Homo-oligomer: A and B are copies of this chain.
Amino acid sequence: MNNKEMDAEKFKTISLASEVLIFSISDNLNDNYRKLSKKKLSVLLIKREKMPFNNSWCLPGKIINIDETGFETAKNIMSICTNDSNYYLEQLKVFDAVDRDPIFRLISSSYLALISKEKIIVNNAKSVSWFNIDAIENNDILELVLDNGNEKLNIILEKIIKENNQEDYSYKIIKNDNLAYDHAIIIAEGIKNLREKASKSDIIFNMMPEFFTIGELQQVYEEILNKKLLGSAFRRTIANKVIETDKTRIGEGHRPSKLFTYQNNKAN
């Protein structure tokens, strides 16, 4: 094939990429020394340095090689931010709107990764950055505010409800803001997925450090589930999932708290 034929070929074939939604929890210190630091869900984004969407932020992604699975590609992508292989990774969804890439037919197989901040190595290059996520829901509108400290992205999505079932919906971008492709939708779907699984499984612990207080754990659940929980009830329900250690966190302007660790080697 000569170059001309290759170019023509590009437009006739479908390219398939793995894209990874890397979520973690960030600590945001409070000015009041007594108050706990505020936990925020955060997502890792990359600054694009080529067309299309040059200079926009995007999810880390890679075209799937002919000799590797999408999962393997996703694991390779993960190596940009960690050399620890101990994280959660699962298939999320396929995003394949015909016009999602302005030039080619690019289909994205998305993956959701959950990792603890302590396992993450991000060099300070400006091209990789963690964005705190604020997700504000009003009726059928979802407002996403992504903030990395320097730049703030304001995105508005609409929930498209299918067939009268309030629980079954997809998203449509109403207003985008310097985020490439349909990645705003992928982020929204990831949050939805995480929220659904948070109360039915233990995946949240993948974003926790090895040792944590019940209060910190509760904060993370509150952030993900987007609602206040009662301390007493939370302790009860979480009790059989954690192991108390003899460590204690002190120096916080209030009663010290015991440190716990995740009970992941359950025998039942």
Contact = CB atoms under 8 A, between A and B. Distances in A.
A98 B68 contact: yes
Contacts of A12: 66
Contacts of A166: 266
Interface in A149-192: 163-168
Contacts of A164: 264-266
B265 A67 contact: no
A208 to B, nearest CB: 15
Copies of this chain, count: 2
Interface in A12-33: 12-14, 16
Nearest to A264: B164
A222 B93 CA distance: 29
B98 A70 contact: no
B66 A14 contact: yes
Contacts of A264: 163-165
Contacts of A67: 98
A173 B70 CA distance: 20
A217 interface: no
| Range class of the A interface residue count | 20 to 34
A260 B33 CA distance: 60
A49 interface: no
A96 interface: yes
A195 to B, nearest CB: 13
Main secondary structure of the interface of A (DSSP, over half): loop
Given A5-B1, A164-B264, A265-B164, A69 B91 contact: no
A210 interface: no
A62 interface: no
Contacts of A202: 165
B105 A66 contact: yes
A25 to B, nearest CB: 20
A107 interface: yes
Interface string A90-112: 01011011100000010101000
Contacts of A265: 164
A139 interface: no
A64 interface: yes
A83 interface: no
Nearest to A196: B200
A201 interface: yes
Given A16-B107, A163-B264, A166-B266, 6 more contacts: A12-B66, A13-B13, A14-B66, A69-B96, A70-B96, A165-B202
12 contacts: A1-B5, A13-B13, A14-B66, A67-B98, A68-B98, A69-B97, A69-B98, A70-B96, A91-B93, A94-B94, A164-B264, A168-B201
